[in-house]
Structure 1
Amino acid sequence: MTRTVAAGASALLLLVTLACGQQTWEAAMQAGESALQRGQYEQAEKIFSAAVPKAEEFGLHDRRVAVTLAHLAQAYSAQGKFVEAEPVYLEALKIYQDVHGETHLDVAAMLNNLGVLHRKHGQYADAQRLLTRALSIKEKLLGPDHPEVALALSNLAAMYLAQGDGEQAGALFARALAVREKHLGPDHPDVAKNLDDYASALRKVGRVAEAEGLERRAGAIRGKPKS
């Protein structure tokens, strides 16, 4: 039996045992996350869907319900099922807010995911509102130069870039780049990605020479052998 077939058989067995109430929530989450990592998004969707009732056994407003819903929404989003993903993210967000209050990293994570979802739909006003709020929470809780803040900056920058606002996007990508270089070092793959994103923003405002310099840096990072 090949590894792929074995993984599929294991996932099918998990679904059966979940349906019979014999599998734990923890085991279901582990299996679903494994399916996500393998890119088996439809399988992950089925596992997380079956895991939601297991999580609800802890209480409808238990944090584990929100965790399960967030993973289910992630599986939907990975398949391009944005209409299905949004209400699930919203439900997870409501539970996190009930459990933690308005200012918590779990809340920021759901705001971020919803913001990215709206950006992909071209709903930029909603995306800006959600991503700005997520950034504000992370800055308040983690400080201005945390890697999680860099991620929030990049997501907000990508929203501005999608609208064609290279100036706003460039300023945010530059901030994110400084944080990543500080924490990850100058040769990290995330730094290379940030350099390319920043270059795209600079090209939007006609700063082509600067953009080309950033792109060369990114290319040099990717060309270095892994240690």
Structure 2
Amino acid sequence: MFLRQVAGNLLKRLGFPSRHAYSASGITNNASRSRKIEISNWHGSGAYSWRIDPRDPRLWVVICGNIAMILGINANPVFAKEASTEASSDNDTERADIIGLRKIEDGSIVSNIHTSKWRVFTDKGREFFLQGKLDEAEKLFLAALEEAKEGFGKRDPHVASACNNLAELYRVKRAFEKAEPLYNEALDILKESYGYEDIRVGTTAHNVGQFFLGQRKLKEARGFYEIALKIKRRALGYVHLDCADTMYHLGVVLYLQGQEMDGMALIQDSIKMLEELGEGESFECVRRLRYLSQIYTKSHNLAEAEMIQRKILHVMELSKGWDSLDTVIAAEALALTLLASCNFKDAQDLLERCLKTRKALLPGDHIQIGANMLHLARLALNSRLLNSSDVSRAEAELDKAKDHLQNSIRIARQFLDKSLKQNNKSKNYSPPRHSGKEGRAALVILLQSLNTMASLELAKQELLGTQEGHINHNAEEALLQCISAYKEFPSKSIADAPEVKNEYLSCLKHVESLLGDKFHERTKQ
């Protein structure tokens, strides 16, 4: 009778509240339904890749995509991100996921002091976990595990629940070596108690899939997701939110393994399932749409990406209105796709509206505003290169773009300088602030702005026909500042970031093309 009560009471998962991090989304997580890690963005993969002539210095900053901008400046309040192209290199431990702490225990009356303590430790541990107080939660989860073994027996589902909670916490803290044996113990107990095809086994198998996906162990993750999906379909039916969840993550794994068509089909099916269940405007559905648009962008299928991003923006406008950074972020993603598609007018309209909203919602020196100005400057530069028949108008556009770039450079420098000063005054040995995502994004914005400034100066020189045959000293100065900026903020976590290295190398190539034989002499100076 006891086991029947246990098996019959499956409580809902708990979700995590928001904390500050950067990603392509700014949507607040729906804790009642979102249970797993947040999928990270693909913008670091160089989604908008334009072919440029390395011999033409004007074109070094022709739209290379939203590689770093969306990586660093779009405020997504989540604890962590899921495995993607960057997961294996992200060592930020101050992160937590939207995950499920599944209660497997029943509602039976407390029988002794051990079970009473177990409940207190478990509930308080979950409370701390939801608050992001991971160290306090760990102590309570450890105590709950011991009390569960004492009060219920070592092979009881309450022990499995305690193991799962502790394993999920260690996964969030990236203490993978501690998490794996706990997951295995939880699975063994649940299989022993309920059989191999029980929904609780499927749920835990999904969690283990998340565990392996976070480590980029795609083969292992795929195996557990397939088990979880098979069990969930038998227990819940094919059209169910939990089935859609596992289907989506399995699709992500297949895509990362190179089975792109199969992966995209599963992701699309999971989205359709949410829409059939009336969840087409939920955070979960928007998140999956965004990931799918990133896949299309990466494969240069900009038409499909644009269609999905318009749908996301429509949902954001209806649910949050334009007085929301979430809507701004969706609009900016669409604008960048339009920019890559050479739809300059619509892109400019969206970017200008984004900038206006950001100025109303954020401090004037916020890094998002700097990035927004950089986007507008690059748009003006590239639209001028395509159509410069009206010289006076083109010159006015370049002057406006220059103002945007100067502000973008100022904002990025202020952020980085402030971070350095704070770190120099700090007496502890904690990692410097600018070594995190914010600093990485700020440095990329600074490098891109200086590099773009050089291209702008060269474009203006050609437009006006000045200094022909001579080195453009304004462009040279901007490029040398770009090189100096990379050296000025010597954090290893920043310098080794792929997006930072790419911008630095682009700057070096640009200055080498500009200076020719004088390159080594001037860069050494």
TM range (shorter): 0.7 to 0.9
1:69-122 per-position Cα deviation (integer Å, ceiling 9, x unaligned)? 100011111111122111111110100000011001111111111112112222
Count of residues in Structure 1 that have an aligned counterpart in Structure 2: 208
Which one-letter code corresponds to 1:221 in the other structure?
V
The equivalent of 1:191 in structure 2 is 285
1:40 counterpart = 2:141: no
* Larger RCO of the pair (alpha carbons < 8 Å, separation 6+): 2
Distance (whole Å) between structure 1 residues aligned to residue 282 and residue 199 of structure 2: 25
The equivalent of 1:12 in structure 2 is none
1:104-143 per-position Cα deviation (integer Å, ceiling 9, x unaligned)? 1111111111112112222221111111111111111111
Q: Please identify, of 131-140 and 76-85, the stretch whose mean Cα deviation from structure 2 is larger.
A: 76-85
Alignment of 1:1-227 (within 5 A): 24-56=117-149, 57-225=151-319
Distance (whole Å) between structure 2 residues aligned to residue 62 and residue 50 of structure 1: 16
The equivalent of 1:3 in structure 2 is none
Three-state SS of the structure 2 residue aligned to 1:187 is coil
Distance (whole Å) between structure 2 residues aligned to residue 133 and residue 202 of structure 1: 28
Distance (whole Å) between structure 2 residues aligned to residue 205 and residue 64 of structure 1: 47
Distance (whole Å) between structure 1 residues aligned to residue 139 and residue 237 of structure 2: 38
1:12-70 per-position Cα deviation (integer Å, ceiling 9, x unaligned)? xxxxxxxx969521121111111111111222111101111111121111110000110
Q: Which structure features the higher share of helix residues?
A: 1
TM-score (norm 2): 0.38
CA 196–22 in structure 1, closer or farther in 2 if over 3 Å, else same? closer
The equivalent of 1:9 in structure 2 is none
Three-state SS of the structure 2 residue aligned to 1:80 is coil
TM-score (norm 1): 0.84
Unaligned runs of 5+ in 2: 1-112, 322-525
Which one-letter code corresponds to 1:34 in the other structure?
E
**Contact 2:206/2:246 (<8 A) preserved:** yes
Aligned-residue RMSD, C-alpha = 2.1
Which one-letter code corresponds to 2:271 in the other structure?
L
**Contact 1:199/1:215 (<8 A) preserved:** yes
Distance (whole Å) between structure 2 residues aligned to residue 103 and residue 21 of structure 1: 30
Three-state SS of the structure 2 residue aligned to 1:225 is helix
Distance (whole Å) between structure 1 residues aligned to residue 123 and residue 176 of structure 2: 24
